Structure 1
Amino acid sequence: METREKILQAAAEMIAEDMAAKLSVRAVAARAGVSTGSLRFHFPTQRALQDSLLARIYEDLLPGDPIRDRTLPPRERLLNCLRQVLAPLGTNEKARTAWGTIYRTFIEPEPTEPVRAAYLGHEREAERRVGHWLATLAEEGALPPGDHTRNVRFLLAVLNGLSVERALPTSESVLSAETDTLNAAVDHVFSTGPAPPAGRTRP
């Protein structure tokens, strides 16, 4: 196995054991059986290692990229991307287990620097992925070019809310209500586009 893959595998094992693992250079290098210098060669900073690992985790959890499937209209592709993020959570017991883990890892403990850094790493990768979807659609002309940060945050807020709903008791079909919400979110993104440049308002 290549050194880079050994390092990523060791870091993935550490994250699987503890989602808030600090992934220090020394600890990951020891787990991978490589020198700290070798780890630094492949990942010059702790953030570079964490971001590469999270990108790999997302690729494994969400294989393929529906945003590239040009056999479907842009709106359907974005909708499929959002559905793909929610699918691994499952519903009811599986969703409760997933949210229980997130609560115990990031909400219940004191917000120490390692906990904060671990959470922000997950957040950066989620923002990168959603930003990639909107940038791809903008490149194709389906969305106007510009700063899509506002809609990235909006879509992530929708996904977070829906993932919590999957774990909570409900009197109606979760997936039916979820589909309505996702459709409304996608409609919003296509109707608003990117934020206007600083100092300017929409006509």
Structure 2
Amino acid sequence: MEQDKANLSSRDKILRAAMEMFGEDPGAKLSVRAVAARAGLSTGSLRYHFPTQRELQDEVLTRIYDLVISDDRIHDSSVPARDRLVDCLRQVLTRVGVGERAREGMRKVVDEFVVPEPTEEIHAAYLAVEREARRRVEYWLTALTNDGALPEGDNTRRARFLITVVNGLGLERALPAEDSILQSETETLYTAVDCVLGSRSS
């Protein structure tokens, strides 16, 4: 393992350190100094590869999303478009978990982004997560547009809508539920996806 680390390029050492830090604490701000120290490199070396903190955060989040959320399903044209999009959105919710796991995740989000004063650093960290989530959903919508399954339109707006639905469902997973959460969640996802797939340019 240590030998593998030694064979990594400086850029990969930085990304590996930042991903480890994010994995240990998803609310981590990934400060330049902390990531450089974890990678065993100077801050100058980190700045050479990632001139801004935003570039580092965006690259780390892109890689994490690539690892945990597959885009393969959206390209399986043997499956109806609505099922493909619901499956992709469900992957995001699967990461949230249910019950205690969902509650713990929600506590972390509140502790990291809601409770403290909204400093520039907190604002940037949250926006990096939101930006990557939107980019991924926009990618799925663009794939469906290219397949002819989704009318041309504002995919950024559509992505924001779907992310809002997924965020709401994630919160519901942390709250007490009377009915089967998975059944009502599936119905909600299909309703949201049907709304998007039936949308026209606007």
Q: TM-score, normalised on structure 2?
A: 0.89
Aligned to 2:170: 163
How many Å apart are 1:187 and its aligned residue?
0.6
Alignment partner for residue 23 of structure 1, among 15, 26, 30? 30
How many Å apart are 1:174 and its aligned residue?
0.3
- Name stretches of at least 5 consecutive residues in structure 2 with no aligned partner: 1-7
How many Å apart are 1:19 and its aligned residue?
3.5
Q: Does 1:103 align with 2:110?
A: yes
Letter of the structure 1 residue corresponding to residue 96 of structure 2: L
How many Å apart are 1:177 and its aligned residue?
0.5
Moved more, 58-67 or 46-55: 58-67
Aligned ranges 1:123-162 → 2 under 5 Å: 123-162=130-169
Q: 1:103 to 1:85 in 2, by over 3 A?
A: same
**Partner Cα separation in structure 1 for residue 138 and residue 54 of structure 2:** 19
| Count of residues in Structure 1 that have an aligned counterpart in Structure 2 | 195
**Partner Cα separation in structure 2 for residue 114 and residue 18 of structure 1:** 15
**Partner Cα separation in structure 2 for residue 70 and residue 135 of structure 1:** 14
How many Å apart are 1:136 and its aligned residue?
1.0
How many Å apart are 1:30 and its aligned residue?
2.0
Moved more, 66-75 or 92-101: 66-75
Partner of 1:192, secondary structure, is: coil
Aligned to 1:198: none
How many Å apart are 1:151 and its aligned residue?
1.0
How many Å apart are 1:17 and its aligned residue?
4.1
Alignment partner for residue 55 of structure 1, among 62, 70, 73? 62
Q: 1:60 to 1:98 in 2, by over 3 A?
A: same
Partner of 1:146, secondary structure, is: coil
Q: 1:160 to 1:23 in 2, by over 3 A?
A: same
Q: 1:57 to 1:24 in 2, by over 3 A?
A: same
Partner of 1:5, secondary structure, is: helix
**Partner Cα separation in structure 1 for residue 77 and residue 48 of structure 2:** 38
Identity score, percent: 56
**Partner Cα separation in structure 1 for residue 89 and residue 110 of structure 2:** 22
Aligned to 2:190: 183
1:17-48 superposed Cα distances (whole Å, 9 cap, x missing partner): 44343323333222211233332332232211
1:152-177 superposed Cα distances (whole Å, 9 cap, x missing partner): 11100100000011110011100010
How many Å apart are 1:64 and its aligned residue?
4.7
Q: 1:84 to 1:193 in 2, by over 3 A?
A: farther
Letter of the structure 2 residue corresponding to residue 55 of structure 1: T
**Partner Cα separation in structure 2 for residue 145 and residue 135 of structure 1:** 9
**Partner Cα separation in structure 1 for residue 9 and residue 144 of structure 2:** 35
- Name stretches of at least 5 consecutive residues in structure 1 with no aligned partner: 196-203
Letter of the structure 1 residue corresponding to residue 17 of structure 2: A
CA RMSD of aligned residues (A): 1.6
Alignment partner for residue 65 of structure 1, among 34, 50, 72? 72
Moved more, 105-114 or 31-40: 31-40
Check conservation: 1:20, 1:114, Cα contact below 8 A. Answer: no
Partner of 2:150, secondary structure, is: coil
